[in-house]
Amino acid sequence: MGGRTNYEAGCAAEGAVARRYEQAGHRIADRRWRGHGAEIDLIAEDGDGFIFVEVKKSVSFARAAERLTRAQMERIYRAASGYISRSPLGQLANVRFDVALVDGSGQIEIVENAFGH
């Protein structure tokens, strides 16, 4: 796939994942939020806390999962820290880091608490 096609496929995957979180009762607070050297695909509100969601799309769930690196997780942690510092509870806010895997047919598998720190 070319760059534009990959971008559009990624946006479509993020939209589908956002709808899944909304159907589960979460409000999407931000999409593609940039801060502290990283982009967080989706940020959902979870009561007084937040769910930071990294969306990975590939031909299979396994291939999508392989695309998440330790370095990327560290960048997401730093960006999430910056994001919650703006919230009323600051660094005391409840947070969860999920990975949403999207396969080639558009099926979604959400791995809650996919990486802890």
> How far is 5 from 75, CA to CA, in rounded Å?
25
Q: What is the pLDDT of residue 2?
A: 63
Q: What is the pLDDT of residue 92?
A: 84
What is the per-residue pLDDT across 7-63, written as a single tens digit (0 to 9) for each?
777 788 999 999 999 999 999 999 999 987 889 999 999 988 999 999 999 999 999
1: pLDDT confidence band, cut at 50, 70 and 90? low
Structural domains in the chain plus CATH codes: 3-111 (3.40.1350.10)
* DSSP-based three-state secondary structure for 10: helix
Tell me the residue length of the chain: 117
What is the per-residue pLDDT across 66-107, written as a single tens digit (0 to 9) for each?
999 999 999 999 999 999 998 888 888 999 999 999 999 999
